[in-house]
Amino acid sequence: MGIQIDALKCTGCMACEMACGYHRDDGFALLSSCIVAYRTKEKKDYFGVILKRDEDLLIARPEGTEIKRIGETEAAADSGKKADASAKPMLLREACDLCEEMDLGPMCIKFCPFDAISEA
Ligand code: SF4
Ligand code: SF4
């Protein structure tokens, strides 16, 4: 199982980020989240999501999904910075564990109000 993200449905509400932070830290700790909502300053109503996985970053943008392997560190980290994501670089965050110990399953899927995140 994996996670897929449809950025065209995303509104940048950050519910997934808060849910993941809660899963990671038993509190609403955004810096612990391995999924991050982002917007760009340049484009209005442009939302996307970055997911840290074991070996790569999944970057879902309205124009499509990109996968950056973690070896490509600068490009990957840049994607987070340019996207105006949280201050903590994605590469320092823990990778998604698919909420394997959570009875409810992946929290980001449960809490996304627009069904932008689903199981792959
Ligand atoms: S599945 Fe769980 S660990 Fe992975 S991004 Fe979603 S909330 Fe975070
Ligand atoms: S919860 Fe859903 S709509 Fe909100 S930022 Fe995350 S993916 Fe986007």
Confidence label for 88 from pLDDT (cuts 50, 70 and 90):
low
> What integer pLDDT is reported at residue 87 of this predicted model?
53
pLDDT in tens, 24-46: 988 888 889 999 998 887 888 89
Query: In this predicted model, what pLDDT tens digit does every residue of 4-23 receive, in sequence order?
Result: 999 999 999 999 999 999 99
3 touches 120 (CB < 8 A): yes
Closest residue by Cα to atom 6, ligand 1, is 108
Mean pLDDT (the chain, rounded): 87
> Is 1 a residue whose pLDDT tops 80?
yes
Give the span between the Cα atoms of 29 and 107, in whole angstroms: 14
> What pLDDT is stored for residue 76 in this prediction?
46
Closest ligand relative to 117 C-alpha: 2
Quick one: which ligand is closest to 5's CA?
Answer: 2
Structural domain range at position 53: 3-119
Say yes or no: CB of residue 12 within 6 Å of ligand 2. yes
Q: Are 117 and 13 in contact (CB under 8 A)?
A: no
pLDDT given for residue 39 in this prediction: 81
Number of domains in the chain: 1
Name the residue at shortest CA distance from atom 8 of ligand 1: 20
